[in-house]
Structure 1
Amino acid sequence: MQDKTNIMDDSAPRPIRSLFAWLVGASQILGLASVVLTGVWMGHYRGGFAWDGSAREFNLHPLCMVLGLVFLQGDAILVYRVFRNEPKRNVKLLHGIIHLLALIMSIIGFVAVFDFHRAAKIPDMYSLHSWCGMATLVLFCLQWVMGLLFFLFPVASSWLRASYLPIHVFCGLVLLVMAIGSCLLGITEKLLFSITSTYSLFAPEGVLANVLGLLLVSFGVLLTYLITRDEYRRPPNPEEESLSVHFKTLTEGGSPSTP
């Protein structure tokens, strides 16, 4: 009996399975390194973390954003490739749980920055970074709710789910790109606010933050590659075939029993 814990089925050529495993491992190293580097930046160079309205509370914002909207969101998307042979219902549940954790971390990060702004009497929502970040969070919440209603606890009909699925997948990738783009804007904004006089002199803090930006971009590129390659997609299963046949029947006027 085939071991369903394998990240790819045995029918796939060995070079493809081996490359896939290495790429998944590399994506996790890049994602975790991004989170760790953000923690080092905020902890070592910016004074650490607290929940007291000070700048240390602000430091929770970048850490939670990178952890939630980038790393966890990316992994939530990737589970459909990694656990491609597991029952789809289980993968859906894992996908939803990781997205929920990402949402919780993101909300904590947003509350932290607004609380800091209020305590320091700094205006809210005036920068491109804040506009892009807010748009990303709002759309992320909408995407999570729609996924919950359409797929995890489906209240929509089969043909609606089938028609919405490509949109859901596309929006997931768009949101990951938006999250990384917002992080890059935030990194640049933070550096310009904090080390304007030494940034152009290759200050260690600036170099570290720039490396963080490169790691985030690399993580996004690698995940996009893994998610869009046909050879890494889930193999067909009865649930998916049934959904596809039902959708074709409704749209083309055929019969479910028609070959």
Structure 2
Amino acid sequence: MKSSNVFYLVYTLSLLLGLLCVIFVITWSKGYRGGFAWDGSAKMFNWHPVCMVTGLVVIYGNAILVYRLPFTWSSSKLILKLVHATLNLGALSLAVIGLLAAFGFHNKMHIPNLYSMHSWVGFIAVILFGLQWLLGFLCFLLPCTPLWLRAAYRDVHVFFGLCILAMTVASCLSGINEKLIFVLNAPNSTASYKKLPPEAYLANILGVLLLCFSLTIAWMLLKREWQRPNLHASALSDATEPLLTED
């Protein structure tokens, strides 16, 4: 089977996994946690996992793949950069909404903010993501950016892109586990976490889906046969040609 065919199989799998992640997190929040609101209640907090999974994992993962899709290789680099930046901005916007939902709920219920490993890793990931987007915009979409700076930052941008994805998935997994412990081990819970009630099964499967999704993204990014042709020439072009030109 041709390498491109294998790529599209893996890419289709990643799309399916991403869709399942969104369906599962919405089902969990709506079916088991009461739905959504914006009133400082637990329903407000439900926006947090939905926004984080949808934005910082699924949309962000697909934004990373923009340059890997074979049908985009003949497209203008400017268009690809704009698509990449727009998807990432959408992911960042959802992450901010997710943070506001969590902080709003905590403040209304007088729960401390940023005390767990989940919150530390997640908050740092969002900050790094915001800096990554801003620096990427300044370096790769502004025509006045010095060429030497763009060339120097390119590998750093790619490296931190993968790091942020790993951090967001780690934060999601720890957050799922933390939420299940809180709600299923509460005094009013009908079944404890260790008894694996249906909610625990669904949330644990969500965690496995997130892990599998991130692994397919990493595979497509790191497999050399699936990298953009003439990668070194493309990198040299990015470092020496004006950004706002069609090529």
- TM-score normalized with structure 1 length: 0.86
Question: Match of 1:118?
Answer: 107
The Cα shift of 1:155 comes to: 3.6
The Cα shift of 1:154 comes to: 4.3
The Cα shift of 1:156 comes to: 2.5
Out of 139, 142, 145, which is 2:128 matched to? 139
Question: Match of 2:15?
Answer: 28
Where does the alignment leave 5 or more consecutive residues of structure 1 unmatched? 1-13, 247-259
Give the 5 Å matches for 1:219-238: 219-236=213-230
CA distance, structure 1, for counterparts of residue 126 and residue 180 of structure 2: 23
1:74 aligns with 2:61: yes
Out of 73, 85, 107, which is 1:84 matched to? 73
- Where 2:37 maps in the other structure, the secondary structure is coil
Question: Match of 1:11?
Answer: none
The Cα shift of 1:217 comes to: 0.5
Where does the alignment leave 5 or more consecutive residues of structure 2 unmatched? 186-190, 242-247
Cα deviation code 1:14-33 (max 9, x no counterpart): 61111111111100111111
Out of 166, 183, 193, which is 2:155 matched to? 166
- Where 1:180 maps in the other structure, the secondary structure is helix
Out of 195, 200, 204, which is 1:206 matched to? 200
The Cα shift of 1:74 comes to: 0.5
- Where 2:31 maps in the other structure, the secondary structure is helix
Question: Match of 2:52?
Answer: 65
User: Which one-letter code corresponds to 1:235 in the other structure?
Assistant: P
- Where 2:230 maps in the other structure, the secondary structure is coil
CA distance, structure 1, for counterparts of residue 209 and residue 20 of structure 2: 8
CA distance, structure 2, for counterparts of residue 242 and residue 62 of structure 1: 40
Computing the radius of gyration from Cα coordinates, the structure with the larger value is 1
CA distance, structure 2, for counterparts of residue 131 and residue 240 of structure 1: 34
Percentage of matched positions with identical amino acids: 44
1:94 aligns with 2:80: no
Higher relative contact order (CA 8 A, sep 6+): 2
The Cα shift of 1:244 comes to: 5.7
Aligned residues: 233
The Cα shift of 1:160 comes to: 1.6
User: Which one-letter code corresponds to 1:118 in the other structure?
Assistant: N
Relative distance call for 1:20 and 1:122 in structure 2 (3 A) is same
Relative distance call for 1:56 and 1:244 in structure 2 (3 A) is closer
When the two chains are superposed, the root-mean-square deviation of aligned CA atoms in Å is 1.6
Relative distance call for 1:160 and 1:122 in structure 2 (3 A) is same
Relative distance call for 1:74 and 1:154 in structure 2 (3 A) is farther
Question: Match of 1:180?
Answer: 169
The Cα shift of 1:149 comes to: 0.3
The Cα shift of 1:60 comes to: 0.3
Contact map agreement 1:61 1:112 (CA 8 A) in 2: yes
Spell out structure 1 runs of 4+ moving beyond 3 A.
Answer: 237-246
CA distance, structure 1, for counterparts of residue 61 and residue 78 of structure 2: 19
- TM-score normalized with structure 2 length: 0.90
- The farther-off stretch of 195-204 and 71-80 is 195-204
